[in-house]
Structure 1
């Protein structure tokens, strides 16, 4: 599995996490009992399916090796394995957070992704 996974999150929610030093998840994460992530190959589809038309988003790159046994790859959309974190995301696992703007075509414009 890739060592870099990605979280798409509203900028305000991530800034709140930065102030606290930890990310406890978006409302959907809290409801599901784990923090949803995507691999590089899954991130664009995740943005289109769950964040269509949303602005003020960030794409956060996470070093999966820092998450330990709380990170599980589980079957989700289309039978693919998605990374899920059963716990709090400590911000020292974040490699970077970059804007995820909408293009003129209404599709999110991604930076280069690793993994």
Structure 2
């Protein structure tokens, strides 16, 4: 399972089209060349670094086996583990759950994937 942070409103629009084409905050797939993803451990750090002051976020749980676009793990400067990147549109049927992205008592985003 990989994850992607999205604005809930953008994800709703994707459902109408059958595909999601946003890479990250303020950048499309076409501008970036891929859609940013992350492992469960990468979600909260990225959420706090990129989306710290934003609200209305969800986490898309993506089944890699269902992706129609290529998935590659790329190194990123300053990170120990590579990040999963989707090199094409995200087909909405690869998203198996839409999860809440919540803040802890300190105001920072926290993420714990559901078990199972």
Distance in 1 (CA, whole Å) between partners of 2:82 and 2:115 is 17
CA shift for structure 1 position 69: 6.3
**RMSD of aligned Cα (Å):** 2.1
Distance in 1 (CA, whole Å) between partners of 2:115 and 2:28 is 24
Structure 1 residue aligned with 2:47: 47
Pick from 7, 22, 26 the counterpart of residue 10 of structure 1: 7
TM (norm. structure 1) is 0.84
Distance in 2 (CA, whole Å) between partners of 1:113 and 1:48 is 20
Distance in 1 (CA, whole Å) between partners of 2:51 and 2:16 is 24
Higher helix share: 1
Distance in 1 (CA, whole Å) between partners of 2:114 and 2:57 is 16
Q: How many residues align?
A: 112
Matched, 1:23 2:20: yes
Distance in 1 (CA, whole Å) between partners of 2:115 and 2:83 is 16
Higher strand share: 2
Matched, 1:88 2:89: yes
SS in 2 for 1:78: coil
Q: Could you give the per-residue CA deviations for residues 30-62 of structure 1, whole angstroms, max 9, x where no partner exists? A: 321100000112111111111102110001100
Q: Which deviates the most, 20-29 or 85-94?
A: 20-29
SS in 1 for 2:109: coil
Could you tell me which runs of 5 or more consecutive residues in structure 2 were left unpaired when the two chains were aligned.
Answer: none
**Contact 2:68–2:91 (CA under 8 A) maintained in structure 1:** no
Could you tell me which runs of 5 or more consecutive residues in structure 1 were left unpaired when the two chains were aligned.
Answer: none
Distance in 2 (CA, whole Å) between partners of 1:77 and 1:29 is 21
**Contact 1:58–1:97 (CA under 8 A) maintained in structure 2:** yes
